[in-house]
Chain A
Amino acid sequence: MFAMTMLESLASPADPTIAVWVEGLTKRFVHRSLLRRSEPQVVTALENLTFSVERGEIFGILGANGSGKSTLIRVLSTLLIPDRGTARVFGCDVVREAGQVKRLINRVSVEASFFKRLSAMENLLYASRLYGRHGRGLRADIVATLGRLGIGADQIDQPLEEFSRGMQQKVAIARAFLTSPILLLLDEPTTGLDPRSKRDVQALVHQLRAEHDATILLCTHDLDEAEALCDRIAILDRGRLVAVDTPERLKAMAARPGASSPSLEEAFLALTGHALEAELAGKPG
């Protein structure tokens, strides 16, 4: 119902104010056993998703584990090819124009994903060079960016396996900063972080939007984080888009006459029929 509302309000995929355009996106995974003669297991990760994200927005995707959030991020990152539908980033199709899309995006995932024995400097040199950064200023930029994130010069040459998870996540944010993406895909970037690191990362998200004119798509199952950061939130449940709106309007949707204004968690429960912490069995992230 809400997805249809969203579709009606879509402008056009070529509209320069639209950062992400997703229409009818469907992705299924088929698991076949080579040894057992059993029916292949089909898992629908995304089912006919339609929405758009405006340039400069911080757009949240809220859903339980297994709701399809990570699959959506992977499709937008050109790492998964959808079965049906289209996804465009600033007008470029993520399948047919993957090369152009790659120049516009970067991603911070729940796993920091680095060469563990390499230092922060070595990992960031590698990542930056792949995105066309070069020259004498690059090392200085890396030192400055890590410094802003609270990683001192004395830690820059240490192997990343010696860093805490919070620090590794900050290096992952630095990796995204250094490549100046205009669309940043954040896949649960604060999961497992202590409250202080969480606040630091959230401040950085705001900073990235302000300094780099970036659009940010944030997948999370942290309701407070979604409410604090996002201009609009899409609720994803078992691969389907249940609702897309501002946090206030989502809460208003779940409001009962005469009762006090519900929390975002109550709104999520009312819209999906289950709590956010519920694990959706058999579903990919």
Chain B
Amino acid sequence: MTVDAMRKVSPRRRLWHEVRAAYAFIERNLFLTRRYWGWEVAFTIYTIASSLSVMYIGKAQQANEDYLVLYLGIGTLVWSYLRLIFSIISEMIAWERWEGTIEYTMMAPVSRLTHLVGVAIFAVLNGLFRSALLLGVIALLFDIDLGGANLAGATLILAVGSLSFIGVGMMAAVLPLLFTERGAEMTFVISSVLLLVSGVYYPVAVLPGWMQPAARVSPATYVLEGMRAAILDGAPMAALWPVLWPTLLIGLLTIPAGVLVFSAVERYAKRTGRLKRSG
């Protein structure tokens, strides 16, 4: 192939290349999941055990036991799904820095959007698989009646919520680029704060007044409110709109913002030499 042919690629061929490159990130993460299977099993058992522990707290309460079990079950299921998406995306740089492959991924002829999308698709697939597993275990151990639930509405809320967490995860992924030694810990702090303020195991109303505005900017708050309305109360689609639109809005804002922030920080890292493995 001539130099000119290598330099100039048609838009159609370039798009096809980007699609295949996105697949490369998905396949690579599947390989890593398989090779680190021990950790995968350990994390899955931890997620199931902690979720069941929370639900048994609900079961131990005498009054309104079924409602409470389902309330906590939705919280733990949704949070484990959203946290997994967030952590896979936000840790993508920290992981590559640890492996020492970051520079090779960054110098590959692939757009950053493709990189982020490939990792996000894997995160969603992984999250769905683990959530299905968790749901299966919960269904085995608890007598849950979903007869009146709006399952289609709940699925829609979760799908839209995934977008917003992808965007937040993209923005958090820049932290290990900016702070070579402490960036990974900072992403953990973000997910911890989201857990605290989003009403995962309790209504946001019980939080101190000064903490509640933080809940309004957390996409998890809307996803959880929507999921509970759809499953516990069987709320129809129209009634879900008040939580659906903020979730959608956060997703529509944070994904492009995440790509822009990532690109800007990547440029900063290239100017200051922060891509290097040891920083």
A-side residues, CB < 8 A to B, are: 16, 29-30, 74, 77-81, 90, 92, 99-100, 102-105, 107, 109, 111, 113-118, 122, 125-127, 129-132, 134, 159, 180, 182, 284
Partner of B6, one of A29, A104, A127: A104
Can you give 11 A-B contacts (C-beta < 8 A)?
A81-B270, A99-B109, A103-B6, A103-B9, A104-B3, A104-B7, A114-B99, A115-B31, A118-B35, A125-B24, A127-B108
Q: Which residues of A sit under 8 angstroms from B21, Cβ to Cβ?
A: 129-130, 132
| Nearest Cβ on chain A to B274's Cβ, whole angstroms | 10
Are B107 and A77 touching (Cβ within 8 A)? yes
Q: Which residues of A sit under 8 angstroms from B275, Cβ to Cβ?
A: 79-80
Interface size class, chain B: 35 or more
Q: Which residues of B sit under 8 angstroms from A132, Cβ to Cβ?
A: 17, 20-21, 109
B-side residues, CB < 8 A to A, are: 1, 3, 6-7, 9, 17, 20-21, 23-24, 27-28, 31-32, 35-36, 99-101, 103-111, 267, 270-273, 275-277
Q: A79-B103, A107-B107, A116-B99 are in contact. Are A130 and B6 (CB under 8 A)?
A: no
Are B100 and A111 touching (Cβ within 8 A)? yes
| Nearest Cβ on chain B to A276's Cβ, whole angstroms | 23
| Nearest Cβ on chain B to A113's Cβ, whole angstroms | 5
Partner of A29, one of B1, B106, B273: B273
Partner of A80, one of B9, B28, B273: B273
Are B31 and A118 touching (Cβ within 8 A)? yes
Partner of B109, one of A79, A81, A126, A130: A130
Q: How far is the CA of A30 from the CA of B274 in the complex (A)?
A: 11
Q: Which residues of B sit under 8 angstroms from A102, Cβ to Cβ?
A: 107-109
Q: How far is the CA of A102 from the CA of B9 in the complex (A)?
A: 13
Q: Which residues of A sit under 8 angstroms from B1, Cβ to Cβ?
A: 180
User: Which 9 pairs, one residue from A and one from B, show the smallest C-beta to C-beta distance?
Assistant: A129-B24, A102-B109, A130-B108, A117-B35, A126-B28, A122-B31, A103-B109, A81-B271, A81-B270
Q: Which residues of B sit under 8 angstroms from A130, Cβ to Cβ?
A: 21, 24, 105, 108-110
Are B267 and A182 touching (Cβ within 8 A)? no
Question: Which A residue's beta carbon lies closest to that of B275?
Answer: A79
| Nearest Cβ on chain A to B270's Cβ, whole angstroms | 5
Q: Which residues of A sit under 8 angstroms from B106, Cβ to Cβ?
A: 78-79
| Nearest Cβ on chain B to A41's Cβ, whole angstroms | 13
Q: Which residues of A sit under 8 angstroms from B273, Cβ to Cβ?
A: 29, 74, 80, 284
Q: A79-B106, A130-B108 are in contact. Are A100 and B7 (CB under 8 A)?
A: yes
Q: How far is the CA of A80 from the CA of B36 in the complex (A)?
A: 32
Q: A77-B107, A116-B99, A118-B32 are in contact. Are A129 and B20 (CB under 8 A)?
A: yes
Question: Which A residue's beta carbon lies closest to that of B268?
Answer: A81
Q: A103-B9, A117-B35 are in contact. Are A129 and B23 (CB under 8 A)?
A: yes
| Nearest Cβ on chain B to A154's Cβ, whole angstroms | 18
Q: How far is the CA of A159 from the CA of B51 in the complex (A)?
A: 34
Q: How far is the CA of A134 from the CA of B17 in the complex (A)?
A: 10
Q: How far is the CA of A104 from the CA of B7 in the complex (A)?
A: 7
Q: Which residues of B sit under 8 angstroms from A134, Cβ to Cβ?
A: 20
Are B31 and A113 touching (Cβ within 8 A)? no
Q: How far is the CA of A98 from the CA of B99 in the complex (A)?
A: 24
| Nearest Cβ on chain A to B21's Cβ, whole angstroms | 5
Are A79 and B101 touching (Cβ within 8 A)? no
Q: How far is the CA of A39 from the CA of B27 in the complex (A)?
A: 47
Are B109 and A113 touching (Cβ within 8 A)? no
